[in-house]
Amino acid sequence: MYNKEFSDLLVEKRESVLILTLDNEPMANAITDSMIDSIETVLAHADEDDEIRCIILTGAGKFFCAGGDIKAMESKSGMFAGESNELRRRYNRGIQRIPRAIESLKTPIIAMVGGAAIGAGCDLAMMCDLRVSSERAKFAETFSKLSLVPGDGGTFFLQRVIGYTKAMEMFLTGDIYSGEQVKEMGLSNYQVSHDTLLDFTLSLANKIASNAPIALSLTKMALKSGRTSSLNDQLELLSTMQGISQRTADHFEGISAFKEKREAKFTGK
C-alpha cells in the first residue's frame, strides 16, 4: 500500500511512523482534488494498520500548504467550478473530506511545519493532534483578504488550539504570524531550528509510538469527545474505555516494566 504512487502526496513508512508529504510544490502545495483523494485513502488505510502508531503530515519544499489554488478560484475551475449551490456541494464532497478523515483518526497525527501554512493550509495544521514548527514556519488565516470563509472547518479547529479570542483575531485581521508569535500563541507545541525539524519530529513520533497504542487511541477518542460532551457522558465513556484498556496485555506489560524498572514493550494487544 505505502509503496504505491499517490497523486500530489508522497508516502513513506519508517517502522511504526508514516510520513505523508503534500507534493504539489510548484503550487506551494495548494490542495487539489487528487490530493484530497490521496490523503483520504492513505489515512483510512493507516488507521486500520496495527503497524502504524503515529503519522506525520508535512509539505514538500519551502511550503507546508498554501491552501486553495488562487488561479482555479479566479477561473472558476476544478474544485471551484459552478455557482453557489454547486460550490456548496463541491465543498461537502471535496475538501471537507480532509477534516472528516483527520478528525476520525484513532492514530495520533503530527503536523510538521517548515514553511508557510496559509488559509486552508493553516487549518490543515490545526486539524492535527500536535504541531512542530521551525523558524521558517508562518501561519495565517487569510480568508478575509479574499472575501472568503474557511470552508474546510477552520472555525472549528483553530479556536480549539489557540482559544476563541486569538482565533477571532487571526480570522478578522488575516495577519501572518511567525517566529515568537507562533510560540506565544500556541500555534505550535514545539518550535525548533529548521535543521533539526525532521529529526525532532521523528523523535517525537517515535516517543508517541512507543506508548501503548490501544490506550493512546482510546484516550485520543475521549479527548475529542470531551470537547462537546457533558461530564456524566464523559465519565461513562471513560469507565467503558478503562474497562477495555485495563484488561489488555499491554496494561500488564506496563505494570511489569514499572516494577522491573525497564522500558515497556507494548504490542497493541
Per cent of the chain over pLDDT 90 is 88
Q: Indicate the SS3 state at residue 189.
A: coil
Q: Is the pLDDT of residue 74 over 90?
A: no
Q: What is the pLDDT of residue 231?
A: 96
pTM over 0.85: yes
Residue 72: pLDDT band (50, 70, 90) is: confident
| Cβ 21 vs Cβ 58: under 8 Å | yes
- Using CA atoms, how far apart are residues 242 and 240, in angstroms rounded to an integer? 5
Question: For residue 64, what are the contacts with CB-CB under 8 A and spacing of at least 6?
Answer: 22, 29, 58, 111, 113, 114, 115, 116, 117, 121, 124, 125, 137
Question: For residue 142, what are the contacts with CB-CB under 8 A and spacing of at least 6?
Answer: 67, 118, 119, 174, 176
Q: What is the mean pLDDT of residues 228-256?
A: 95
Mean of per-residue pLDDT scores for the chain: 95
pLDDT for 251-265, tens place per residue? 999 999 999 999 999
Q: Indicate the SS3 state at residue 151.
A: coil
Q: Indicate the SS3 state at residue 30.
A: coil
Q: What angle do CA 237, 223, 186 make, to 5 degrees?
A: 170
Residue 69: pLDDT band (50, 70, 90) is: confident
| Cβ 7 vs Cβ 37: under 8 Å | yes
Q: Is the pLDDT of residue 37 over 90?
A: yes
Residue 77: pLDDT band (50, 70, 90) is: confident
Residue 141 grid coordinates: 488565516
- Using CA atoms, how far apart are residues 104 and 256, in angstroms rounded to an integer? 32
Phi/psi zone of residue 32: left (φ > 0), alpha (ψ -120 to 50 degrees), beta? Answer: beta
Q: What is the pLDDT of residue 3?
A: 87
pLDDT for 90-108, tens place per residue? 888 999 999 999 999 999 9
- Using CA atoms, how far apart are residues 266 and 249, in angstroms rounded to an integer? 8
- DSSP states along 77-141: -GGG-SSHHHHHHHHHHTTTHHHHHHHT--S-EEEEESSEEETHHHHHHHHSSEEEEETT-EEE-
Q: What is the pLDDT of residue 87?
A: 85
Sign of CA dihedral 19, 68, 126, 186: positive
